[in-house]
Structure 1
Amino acid sequence: MNNPGFELQEDGLERSHSSIKPHYPYYECRHEEKKSCSLMKIFLVCFLACLITTAIGVMILCLVYLGHIHEKRSQEIIIPMYPSMDIKPPQDTNNDTNTDPRFNFMRHLGTSQVFAFEGGDIQWARYRNNPKDYSDENELQFGASINQHQSKMTVGTLRIVSKGLRAPHWHFNANEHGFLVQGMAWIGVVDDGGVVTTYNVTAGQVIFFPKNTLHWVKNVGDEDCLFILFFTTHDELSTLDVDDAFYKTPEDIAARSLKPVGGIDFIRTFKKPKEDQAINLPENLAELIQTAKYVQSNESDYGKYFYDLKGSREFVFPGGIIQWARYRKNDTGLNNTEKIYSESINSHADTLTLGTLRIKSNGMRQPHFHFNAHEMGYVISGCGQIGIVGGRPVPDFAIGIGDVFFFPIGTQHYIKSTCDEDLFMILAFSTGNQLETLDMDDYFHATADHILAQLFLKKQEEFKKIPKLKDDQAVNLP
């Protein structure tokens, strides 16, 4: 046998019955002490056998324990990281008892970090490649959530003071849709042929900039402009401003390209400001500009980048109003500019549907879900309550001015107004095709009574108590 404990024990038993006297160098017995000596030998053999057997047992238990620890550590090592993150972020927030599942679907954008510039500021609810760039754990949780769900949306607010300018720039990895909450702005868009389109926007109107299209925004009113901006990416937004592109270009290359009077010496007169000029407003602006014209291009040109959402058709329900800036397969009822915009967003990949939702006090956008789009929204006024039914339980949560919320595709959700004033929101949906939605009352009415009776364990006639009302109850009142 391989076990030395068993070998010693068997050897001892054989020798105790042998007529040959064993020789033990460390213990010698006299003839008259033969009986007591034999008992002592048996005792010693048994004692040694017990010690060795115990030692082997302890060793086996240690090996099993170490193997278990190794397996556990191996499992921890193979937990996947979030894509493109440098360090490991928190684990699945729905399973982490130390996190609040609400922040997978909601962000207090109004209280988030403010990125201030000379001419205004920007606030973000977005994904970051480096977790250290988040201002707090809740922001990280929201950013990780929209990235994991591949939301194709990032949201931010842009405030531009009077005469301020959002510098000409373009986005490498996203289309941009914007809704002007207040103020007046002059917009410029330069397409791939170098053709410039300019137009003016006022509160309640929508702007659109395709990916990798140069554009700028100038405040031409007396009050601040406030835009709610949606970008069609769930990765970190990549942007390049014209001034940054210029200063990163070698002087001789810039001179050769622009061919200014004075050549490279003229290019060298440009001095890069210390402060970021993303939203620009120089102190000596009056000295720099003598005349400024805010030209409006032809409707056929600016219609691709503009939609008068406030002036569009109102879809009126018992509990509120919805207006849409979206693609429609059937463009009946759209004016010429709306038709141009509808075709424009449908012709570009990964564009968004935008809409405003106004819910009267105590009104509710009833439970529903979208077949073909994620949804993201921003609260402009009022307050409300949101409920989500998805893969995992999420407690209902309150929303107020400046809050952003997110509903993954296929997730049933409702929004209820809980203030004395109307709850007013701008919504974005991750599709440039016609939005597909199903409300709870619609899928109950579409399901046969006998199927419902079998499912809910109620008599079939009970479901006659659910009336099909004449008016659409998408936004209803009690």
Structure 2
Amino acid sequence: MFAISPVPKRGRKGNDILGPQNPDRMRQEPDTVCPPDTDHGKMPNMKWSFTDSHVRLEEGGWARETTVRELPTSKELAGVNMRLGPGVYRELHWHNESEWAYIIKGQCRISVLDLEGGSYIDDLEEGDLWYFPTGFPHGIQGTGKEGVEFLLIFDDGNFSEDSTFLLTDYIARTPKSILAKNFRVDEEVFNSLSEKEKYIFQGTIPGSLEDDRKKVTRSKHRFTHRMLKQEPKKFPGGEVRITDTSNFPISKTTAAAHVIINPGCLREMHWHPNADEWSFFLRGRARITIFAASGNARTFNYQAGDVGIVPKNNAHYVENIGDEPVEMLEMFKAAKFEDFSTEQWLAQTPATTVAEHLNLVGGNREKFLKSLSKDKTAVKAPLRKTRSMSDMAKALEELL
């Protein structure tokens, strides 16, 4: 956050604010208060903070969501941030949508039933993922000393946590005579059923993973993935891990990237041809300018806990404007992660074509064309300019 509140004034344009102000919000949004000169036209909001989402408080945990209702541009995906204490359940349930999840902190145990009747049970920790296809019944329980916090992604922006198919609700809405016939027991067995959904509630700390696995028919499918244990692709300005059907085959509707951008560095100018980007910022401060064609461009600022949307094919970059690394997740409603690098495109286009499009002449023409790389550099380091003797002399004078 900036120490001084920004002012909507740049050169001879703009002026100060005489009316009411929210200094804390203004310091979080310097490029909204005073947009760069390159911003132009109209663009809907592409940012939301989970801090502004309603929190549903339950026994031992909570949930809050970012959907098309909170962020109208979040059309393809919806997100839920959830916390479960040790032993606390997110009750057994299923969805119309698929569910992709990233463990932010802590530990949990998940279980899911596949179509062949196999059960998959696993313990997860920070940086791990799970994916449950639409309709697959599953459950989550916090474990360890602090339980777990995670981000859930659903492949429909209209998703609501309140519209899931819950076991307790399902059983409570079924006549006891039918329950008795189905499960082959007396009706009295069901006298203690909960009369309302449990959703999130305190349970017993589970035993060992192996003990649970021994009691079920094991699934042949893999529903979890260790994203942070992947070997990252390293670049001068940071690193990237990509998880999609190439290394997590069951995740057919959600592809993702985990990105680290070092201070002063840049997630290069690019766009995604196959899906909108739904980003979640885990730490750091970032700036993103989105180019939406027809002369429209808008710059947004993000920090930890924020959600960002970039529509399909809209060009953008992510710049680290803070003092610590930016750590972010990029999610897509797609089987594969796809992007086009602006630099790689220009490097693979005839030089004269590029120069004439950009009006590059003389020494600047050669300087720019020689700088282009045919290889993607997903995260770029800052440009280190060679200082002239006059620049160094001036700097020395200022010190003296």
Give the TM interval when normalised to the shorter protein: 0.7 to 0.9
Please state how far the C-alpha of 1:214 moved relative to its aligned partner: 0.4
Higher relative contact order, chain-length normalized (CA < 8 Å, sep 6+): 2
Partner of 1:54: none
Partner of 2:377: 473
Please state how far the C-alpha of 1:164 moved relative to its aligned partner: 0.6
Please state how far the C-alpha of 1:156 moved relative to its aligned partner: 1.4
* TM-score between the two structures when normalised by the length of structure 1: 0.65
Match of 1:220 among 143, 154, 166: 143
Helix, strand or coil for the counterpart of 2:251?
helix
Match of 1:279 among 191, 194, 200: 200
Q: Does 1:362 align with 2:285?
A: no
Q: 1:271 to 1:474 in 2, by over 3 A?
A: closer
Please state how far the C-alpha of 1:419 moved relative to its aligned partner: 1.1
By percentage of residues, which structure has more helix? Answer: 1
CA deviation profile, 1:284-323 (whole Å, cap 9, x unmatched): x56xx8x74433759x947521111111121001111111
CA distance in 2 between partners of 1:297 and 1:465 (Å): 62
Partner of 2:209: 294
Please state how far the C-alpha of 1:444 moved relative to its aligned partner: 1.5
By percentage of residues, which structure has more strand? Answer: 2
Mapping 1:243-282, distance limit 5 Å: 243-260=168-185, 263-273=186-196, 276-281=197-202
Aligned partners of 1:179 and 1:205 also within 8 Å: yes
Q: 1:227 to 1:265 in 2, by over 3 A?
A: same
Q: 1:312 to 1:301 in 2, by over 3 A?
A: farther
Please state how far the C-alpha of 1:460 moved relative to its aligned partner: 7.5
Partner of 2:84: 160
| Equivalent residue letter for 2:354 | L
Aligned partners of 2:102 and 2:129 also within 8 Å: yes
Partner of 1:312: 230
The percentage of aligned residue pairs carrying the same residue is 22
CA distance in 1 between partners of 2:320 and 2:58 (Å): 35
Moved more, 452-461 or 403-412: 452-461
Q: Does 1:412 align with 2:334?
A: no
Partner of 2:303: 400
Structure 1 residue runs without a partner (length 5+): 1-99, 129-138, 329-337
Helix, strand or coil for the counterpart of 1:145?
coil
Structure 2 residue runs without a partner (length 5+): 1-40, 383-400
CA distance in 2 between partners of 1:325 and 1:444 (Å): 27
Helix, strand or coil for the counterpart of 2:227?
coil
CA deviation profile, 1:386-440 (whole Å, cap 9, x unmatched): 11001462431110110000111101011111111100012211211x3221111
Partner of 2:330: 427
| Equivalent residue letter for 2:113 | V
Q: Name the count of aligned residue pairs.
A: 333
Aligned partners of 1:118 and 1:277 also within 8 Å: no
* TM-score between the two structures when normalised by the length of structure 2: 0.77
Look at both structures and tell me which one has the larger radius of gyration over its CA atoms.
1
| Equivalent residue letter for 1:456 | L
Q: 1:468 to 1:450 in 2, by over 3 A?
A: closer
Helix, strand or coil for the counterpart of 2:357?
helix
CA distance in 2 between partners of 1:116 and 1:156 (Å): 14
